[in-house]
Amino acid sequence: MNLPNKLTVARVIMIPFFVFFLLFDPSNVTFKWISLAIFIVASLTDMLDGKIARKYNLITDFGKFMDPLADKLLVCSAMIGLIELHRIPSWIVIIIIAREFVISGFRLIAADNGRVIAASYWGKFKTTFQMIMVILMIANLPIPAVQILTTVVMWVALALTVISLIDYLVKNKDVMSGEM
């Protein structure tokens, strides 16, 4: 297993620890900062594994499949936890997770036909904004400017979620039509 794939696996392994510190005792400020640190480190592994894979030509089918899945697991776990903490409306999380199920379904159909579909730039922007949104929501700083920024980033993340879904469906319409 190459280094980018090890970073992806490490990101998945960090998720239960992140969720534990986020939700075990929400009033514990130390736990909040630990969960934020874990989330940031896990998010940085996403950026790092992609850069290493491209720079050293270490792109694998495992990485093309697992990297986006690891991102989805991390971000969706965080957003579900943030619903529990009353920091994000559940309907927004439902839209975001529904998009992930649709894309995962497309990837499974494509994989059955011997095709691996890598993440698009829209998907990468979406993931980046979702991660920034989660960071701001975990930090939950009582500063009006930061609260406004958090709301703006949330709406941008939601818009990018929908845009990336449409882009993905248009670019991969042959997957459902069976014309692969």
23-80 pLDDT, tens digit per residue, is 999 999 999 999 999 999 999 998 899 899 999 999 988 988 788 889 889 999 999 9
Radius of gyration of the chain (CA): 17
What CATH code is carried by the domain that includes residue 117?
1.20.120.1760
Which one, of 52, 73, 55, 59, lies nearest residue 9 by Cα?
73
* Residue (of 44, 54, 62, 82) closest to 5 by Cα position: 62
| Angle value at C-alpha 106, between 100 and 110, nearest 5 degrees | 140
Domain tally for the chain? 1
Give the mean pLDDT of the chain.
92
Q: Which residues form the domain of 75?
A: 3-177
Inform me whether the pLDDT recorded for 176 exceeds 80. Answer: no
Interior/surface letters 120-151, b for 16+ CB within 10 angstroms, e for the rest: bebbbebbbbbbbbbbbbbeeeeeeeeeeebe
Phi/psi at 71 (nearest 5 deg)? -60, -45
Six-digit token string for 112 = 């059955």
| pLDDT bracket for residue 178 (50, 70, 90) | low
Greatest mean pLDDT among 37-46, 112-121, 167-176 lies in: 37-46
pLDDT value at residue 50 = 87
